[in-house]
Amino acid sequence: MRVFKFIFILLISVNSFGAGNELTVSNVKTYLKEIGVHHVDIVVRQAILETGWLKSYSAKTRHNLFGLTNGRTKSYYVFDHWKESCKGYRDMVQYKYEKMGYNYEEGDYYKFLVSMHYAADPDYISKLKSIKLPK
């Protein structure tokens, strides 16, 4: 009876988190769309590049998929869940896209990333473009 209760509670716990909580490329892409992030394929490529296909220490421990840092302290943000990192990207990075005068549909998101100095690597954009997303 005890084992049955444990399994039942475990199943309820897993189901209460809902689908799409596991850190996968597909789930990241779906969640970015859900929260209104624009240029999702490029942003997913950023997460892949920043975290080594979501396997890095930053992704697994800090739940920080984009290398987001605190401008004052220069330290990496630590999130409780990878979904918070996606919201952080939207709120700390993408809002600047509109503020800088780019149009979501017609704007060149790669140009935006360069103009805001998103990454120090001069090959960052070419590396993003070379990433083939899984279907």
Residue 52 domain flag: yes
| CB-based contact 69:52 (threshold 8 Å) | no
Residue 14 domain flag: no
Per-residue pLDDT, 104: 61
| CB-based contact 127:115 (threshold 8 Å) | no
Q: Which alpha helices (H) appear in the chain, and where do they start and end? A: 2-17, 25-34, 40-51, 57, 82-89, 95-99, 109-115, 124-130
CATH code for position 65 = 1.10.530.10
Model confidence band, residue 6 (pLDDT cutoffs 50, 70, 90): very low
What total of structural domains would you count in the chain?
1
Widest CA span of the chain, in angstroms? 63
Q: What's the pTM value of the predicted model, to 2 decimals?
A: 0.82
Per-residue pLDDT, 4: 43
